[in-house]
Structure 1
Amino acid sequence: MSNNVIDKISELAESVLSTTDFFLVDVEIKGGDIPEIWVSVDGEERGVNMDECAEISNELSFLMEAHDLFSGRYRINVSSPGLDRPLVDRRQYPKNRGRRARVSYRQDGEDLKVEGTLQDVSDKGIVVKINEQTTVELPFDDLVETKIIPSFK
């Protein structure tokens, strides 16, 4: 599927989300006889619930049909990014403060990994507490991937 279609869906999704407290994380199109559009949304303060996903989906579908993006049928799925997805937007970090994370980063041309508690978030980067004595400050520009480790307490 063309990047132009993904860009247009992203633009339409951003317009739908502009009236909410959510932001667009990602748009993916998976091929097949009936294309599947996956739209991930998140909030800075909280996650998105099923009713909100359904409302966003309905509004986005209406706009997509008005712009005639697909000639035939398609499926649209709007959801939160999910536990297994990495954080891809800086706005996702603050609400995850205090949670365990696995962080991959590049420093001086070397690929490194650290696991610990996401202790702090600033405009410039994050602080990961590895243990009682050790914290690591990582600039956003050095981050490769951050995944939150689910806790089922």
Structure 2
Amino acid sequence: MDATGRIEQIISPSVEAMGYEVVRVQISGGQRSVLQIMAERADGAAMTVEDCADISRSVSALLDVEDPIREAYTLEVSSPGIDRPLTRLKDFERFAGFEAKLDTRLASSDGRKRFRGTLKGVEDGLVCIETEQGAARLEFDNILRAKLVLTDDLIRASQEAQG
């Protein structure tokens, strides 16, 4: 298991018990590593600065005990934002009908590794997306990176969800 997987394993139970879900754990380099924890409220409400601070305090305590990162690092806790990354299979279902960009590890049967189009959900464990080139069904494990595209429809849906 890589470092981010180990960290997610350490922090997820505590974060979930607090009423949040871990969206992504990422470590970026430089002279001082940055550990980014992206989380969202399990109830679907908007994340606040206080939510991020609460998660940060809890995660800091857990990581101090477990010490999965040997060198000095900066902890950054954030919400996914409106044009969020899609990191879990359920994200592709939840955001069906919205535009997304996906990059795959391996090329599809037509030679493409990049897809942009409207998410159509998940069928038989495959992520479905309708692109200008036609429909594509992609293995979730083959998706390297995916995120929503900021569109008027996404902004409107986000505003409606926030009341």
Identity across the alignment (%): 20
TM-score by length of 2: 0.65
Query: Aligned equivalents of 1:81 and 1:52: distance in 2?
Result: 13
Higher share in helix: 2
Return closer, same or farther for 1:126/1:78 CA change in 2, 3 Å cut-off: same
Gaps of 5+ in 2: 156-163
Amino acid at match of 2:150: P
CA RMSD of aligned residues (A): 3.5
Per-residue deviation, 1:49:
0.6
TM-score by length of 1: 0.68
Query: Aligned equivalents of 2:7 and 2:144: distance in 1?
Result: 26
CA contact (8 A) 1:101 1:118 kept: yes
Q: Which has more radius of gyration?
A: 1
Per-residue deviation, 1:30:
3.7
Amino acid at match of 2:91: Q
Does 1:101 pair with 2:118?
no
The one-character-per-residue Cα deviations of 1:4-36 (angstroms, maximum 9, x if unpaired) are 5x555333322322313413522315443x653
1:69-148 alignment runs, 5 A limit: 74-82=73-81, 86-105=85-104, 106-108=107-109, 110-130=111-131, 134-148=134-148
Query: Aligned equivalents of 1:144 and 1:62: distance in 2?
Result: 31
SS of aligned partner of 1:115: strand
SS of aligned partner of 2:112: strand
Query: Aligned equivalents of 1:14 and 1:79: distance in 2?
Result: 15
Gaps of 5+ in 1: none
CA contact (8 A) 2:117 2:129 kept: yes
Query: Aligned equivalents of 1:140 and 1:73: distance in 2?
Result: 33
The one-character-per-residue Cα deviations of 1:19-66 (angstroms, maximum 9, x if unpaired) are 13413522315443x653221224677476123222111111122233
Per-residue deviation, 1:138:
2.8
| Counterpart among 47, 50, 66 of residue 49 in structure 1 | 47
Amino acid at match of 2:143: L
- Please say which of residues 52-61 and 22-31 is displaced more in the overlay: 22-31
Query: Aligned equivalents of 2:97 and 2:90: distance in 1?
Result: 15
* Count of residue pairs brought into register by the alignment: 147
